[in-house]
């Protein structure tokens, strides 16, 4: 399909490591990975171009390592390696659905995957391959949220979509506070000044400076990615002038 009915044709999808973990306490639930891959395959079949940034919190989180006394830079590099493991697992799930997929790492590891080079990544997207970006930005002290926003801008994406377990941004955790307010639309300054923590401040500021819309939606509902691409999902849109 041409994708003419899509509001966002080229999208950067941010998947957390926890999303791949499912109900497990650690690691990768390949059944969950398969369901998420099916959603991506459906979006690709509708004409979308999809890039993905994966987190690594299901295996190792740099901040948690640093909190336990580990050097923060070392802990962050370990977290980057965890994202490569997740990227390879998700590549496998996507290719099981006949979706051509490339893993590009910000940290060179040629025996495992390709190194990130922007023109190469752009070529893959143009050929309608899914590109999975691993190892964050390749630098410690930056989150995978920031990596997702950065790659979305570099790839000329129409938006960055953060897949979560809830259907948008709330004033508080809706699982803990039933009275939490859900927002349909927010400005970048709302997110920063209200300290909503949907993404870290650097990611939101980078999106603001490049007028990149940020979509927050639930990945728990099968088929919701395609709804988000069409602007039909129950979601929160963060953007200029919202």
**15-72 per-position pLDDT tens digit:** 999 999 988 889 999 999 999 999 999 999 999 999 999 999 999 987 788 888 899 9
CB 180 within 8 A of CB 173: yes
What is the CATH number for 186?
Answer: 3.40.1160.10
What residues make up the domain containing 84?
Answer: 10-238
Is the pLDDT at 241 greater than 70? The verdict is no
Q: Is residue 5 part of a domain?
A: no
Q: Is residue 188 part of a domain?
A: yes
Residue 159: inside a domain: yes
3 in a structural domain: no
151 domain-assigned:
yes
User: CA-CA distance, 126 to 43, in Å (whole number)?
Assistant: 15
What's the token pair of residue 97? 């659905």
> How far is residue 143's CA from residue 140's CA, in Å, rounded to a whole number?
8
* Confidence at residue 150, expressed as pLDDT on a 0 to 100 scale: 98
118, 205, 198, 135: CA torsion to nearest 10:
30
Query: Is 148 within a domain?
Result: yes
* Separation of alpha carbons 41 and 101, rounded Å: 11
In percent, the amount of the chain with pLDDT more than 90 equals 86
Question: What is the chain's mean pLDDT, rounded?
Answer: 94
Please tell me the total count of domains within the chain.
Answer: 1
Q: Are 57 and 99 in contact (CB under 8 A)?
A: no
Nearest in space to 19 (alpha carbons), one of 80, 75, 90, 77: 90
User: Tens digits of per-residue pLDDT, 222-234?
Assistant: 899 999 999 999 9
Q: Say if 2 falls within a structural domain.
A: no
Q: What is the mean pLDDT of residues 97-113?
A: 97
Residue 166 lies in a domain: yes
């Amino acid at each position: 399909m041409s994708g003419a009915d899509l509001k966002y044709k080229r999208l950067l999808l941010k998947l957390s490591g926890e999303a791949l973990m499912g109900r497990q306490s650690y690691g990768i639930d390949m059944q969950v990975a398969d369901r998420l891959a099916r959603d991506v395959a459906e979006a690709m079949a509708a004409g979308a171009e999809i890039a993905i940034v994966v987190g690594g919190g299901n295996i190792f989180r740099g901040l948690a390592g640093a909190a336990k006394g580990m050097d923060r830079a070392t802990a962050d590099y370990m977290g980057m390696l965890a994202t490569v493991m997740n990227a390879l697992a998700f590549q496998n799930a996507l290719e099981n659905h006949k979706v051509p997929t490339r893993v590009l790492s910000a940290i060179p590891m040629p025996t495992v995957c390709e190194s990130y080079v922007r023109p190469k990544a752009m070529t893959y997207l143009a050929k309608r391959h899914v590109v999975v970006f691993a190892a964050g930005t390749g630098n410690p002290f930056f989150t995978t949220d920031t990596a997702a926003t950065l790659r979305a801008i570099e790839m000329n994406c129409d938006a960055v979509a953060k897949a979560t377990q809830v259907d948008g941004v709330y004033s508080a955790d809706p699982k803990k506070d039933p009275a939490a307010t859900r927002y349909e639309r927010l400005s970048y300054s709302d997110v920063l000044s209200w300290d909503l923590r949907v993404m870290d401040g650097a990611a939101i500021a980078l999106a603001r400076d490049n007028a990149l819309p940020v979509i927050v939606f639930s990945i728990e509902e099968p088929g919701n990615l395609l709804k988000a691409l069409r602007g039909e999902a129950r979601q929160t849109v963060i953007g200029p002038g919202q």
